[in-house]
Amino acid sequence: MRAYPAVRRDQTVDELHGRTIADPYRWLEDADSPETAAFVAAQNAFAEPILAALPARDAFRERVTALLTAPTRGCPFERGGRVFAWRNDGQNQDVLVVADSVDELEGGRVLLDANALSADGTVSVTAASVSPDGQLLAYGVADGGSDWRTLRVRDVVTGADLADEIPWTKWNSPVWLPGERSFTYWAYDAPAGNGLTDEMGAGRLMAHVVGEPVEDDAVVWTRPEEPRMFARHWPRDERWFVLSTDTGSSSGNDLAVARHGGDDRLRLVDGHEHEWDAVGIRDDVLFAVTDEGAARYRLAAFDLATGAQRTVVPEHETDVLLGASLTAGGLVLEYSHDASHRLQLATDDGALGDAVPIGEGVSLTGLSARASSTTVHATTSSFVDRGTRHVVEVDGARLVSHRTLPTPGPAAPEATTTRIRATSSDDAEVPAFVVRPDGDDGTEPRPTLVWAYGGFNIPMNPGFRAVLAAWVDAGGVLVVPNLRGGGEFGSDWHKQGTKERKQQVFDDLYAVAEHLVATGVTTPERLVLHGRSNGGLLAGAALTQRPELWAAVLPGVGVLDMLRFHRFTIGWAWTSDYGDPDDAEEFAALAAYSPLHAIREGVAYPPTLVTTGDHDDRVVPAHSFKFAAELQRAQAASGAEAPIVLSIDTRAGHGMGKPKDAAALEFADQLAFAAHHAGLEVAG
């Protein structure tokens, strides 16, 4: 029997809605305690020999490193006659370059090199906004993967930082105000306790004038009596200030506008029942994408003189309108068709024009358009394309020209992508992408990795991810399902996987897994499940509900304690998707599937690798700590030999800004663990 690290259990219990809930590892929520630090050290000491012994670890580290360090090129954007873009030639962090034209970006001047901010690459740039005249850059710096950022300002011409420094900001990127010497941002008070775990208090939208003391910054909007609320200023406009507020990660929002410098506010939308994504203003008309009366979304327009609303582009019969942007004399519309993206031009009155040929089976990873320009920049990727840049010239709704810019470096692994459709527990059809390595004819079951999410209206599209491409390159099959809760098929698809309906997401996953087995794609002995964040919750639920389905399970930075998630940092915002544990009815639904509370003695769980970062201040690591400790205890009690491993990165957060060398090691561990337990033989 495997000897796991000893973990203290105490007698902590809660009385919640008439139920007694034991929480013997509550002490692990104290991230600063010496006992928690000792727990982290002991778990890593236990994990490392197991991971080091995996036969494919070195091979996967080499494969993932090659993919992560291959050159990447971000979507160009224009400001004040200059062109900017993020690029990477193998460094830990991206570099922002500036040039006089898009064709000169390869030799562009480095404006901001995040790699120079720290010796180990763990300080990253998590927000950047160039002023419309192209003179100033406001950017946010985060340490160790934290969501906390400090805002700074850099002179674009000289490349020197100014004296401005604004601490304790999150979420919103700076948005420049008229005059281009001030911007808005979202701020909090400095944490009184642990800034990596404590629940967020009331924030406020602030305005900073470049060169002025931060202490003099003006409060633009705040509602301290309702601390669980965000506000955002967007889109930027010279005449109008647009404000929206919302109460959660996937809740709806309201909309209001006011003249800059004026006191009268025009409320366009009240309440938070629907989404209103304001995208731009032309001739005192505000355009917004909404799901009000349109589950697949429509484009609406508000007359800012009267507040009257009209529909510009109605809901499509099959496709989801993801977004819209103004160009000089027209619109560019972003659609999702069966979970892949397409671009469509239109006039301001909604007459559809030409399609932009960005390719089939791709995801839009970036789009840059301006109401004053006829040039549209876009970037796309797919499971088999590391990235393509598109330069598009338009004349209203007419496509004038389209060209692509080459991305240097090697091509992605060769593979074939198809679609399958499984029937879920409620008879709904659940699609999935199946990516087969080159040479696999599908006649024999193969080791298969399922990468899934299913939440927060976030779609799972055919984008390029190094960790997934490395699995396919090694000969494994990749499956990416489009589960309820996601954003692939509109707001109804999303809502069918939320709150008391969250179990439907898990049932959708099981339907896809069973379909893969029934059609001979794989077997339960060769099927691995991987998910991160909300996908980590999915993996934890699938592990505890259907352990017999999986050869191995990989929950990463997962939300695993569904009865206390709302008590840390920004967790309260997730109640829009999960429900509120403080509400008796919603608590019952959460308690029914909470992975931490679903672990049972006497069950033999499959091999499991739980990963997290000790600086994760979005999904705090206590979720993974408590889940792994209880799973190890139950596994030992059952006498099962399958390993339960917890690996903790001690200089990482939720994943954003993680250095490539650290990401390569994490991905290699996950893939080698999956390969070992699914029977994938990997050439060295």
Closest CA to 558 of 506, 503, 628: 628
Q: Hey, what amino acid is at 558? A: G
Tokens 């007698």 locate to: 11
Total residues belonging to the chain: 684
Closest CA to 308 of 285, 291, 330: 285
Instruction: Give the Cα separation of 650 and 684 in Å (integer).
Output: 29
Helices (H), 438-533: 466-473, 491-495, 503-518
**Residues with Cβ within 8 Å of residue 580, at least 6 apart in sequence:** 566, 586, 587
Going from the C-alpha of 585 to that of each of 449, 500, 579, 655, the distances in angstroms are 35, 9, 9, 33
Instruction: Give the Cα separation of 576 and 249 in Å (integer).
Output: 7
Instruction: Give the Cα separation of 671 and 664 in Å (integer).
Output: 10
CA dihedral 542→546→552→557, nearest 10 degrees, is: 20
Q: Is 319 a catalytic residue?
A: no
Going from the C-alpha of 641 to that of each of 634, 670, 671, the distances in angstroms are 12, 19, 20
Tokens 């692939």 locate to: 488
E strand residue ranges, 260-308: 265-269, 276-282, 285-290, 298-303
Token output for 269: 């939308």
Instruction: Give the Cα separation of 378 and 320 in Å (integer).
Output: 19
Gyration radius from the chain CA atoms? 25
SS3 584: helix
Q: Is 385 a catalytic residue?
A: no
HEC sequence for 630-655: HHHHHHHHHCCCCCEEEEEECCCCCC
Q: Is 530 a catalytic residue?
A: no
Strand 255-259 vs strand 415-423: parallel, antiparallel, or unpaired? Answer: unpaired
Sign of CA dihedral 163, 168, 171, 175: negative
**Could you tell me if 286 and 275 are in contact, meaning their C-beta atoms sit under 8 angstroms apart?**
no
User: Burial of 226 by CB count in 10 Å (0-12 exposed, 13-18 middle, 19+ buried)?
Assistant: exposed
Token output for 494: 């999303």
Other beta carbons less than 10 A from residue 100's beta carbon: 12
Out of 515, 530, 623, 654, which one is annotated catalytic?
A: 654
Out of 250, 325, 381, 533, which one is annotated catalytic?
A: 533
Instruction: Give the Cα separation of 659 and 10 in Å (integer).
Output: 37
**Could you tell me if 647 and 51 are in contact, meaning their C-beta atoms sit under 8 angstroms apart?**
yes
Full DSSP string of 20-75: EEE-TTGGGG-TTSHHHHHHHHHHHHHHHHHHHT-TTHHHHHHHHHHHHTS-EE--
Out of 319, 348, 561, 616, which one is annotated catalytic?
A: 616
Question: Catalytic residue numbers?
Answer: 533, 616, 654
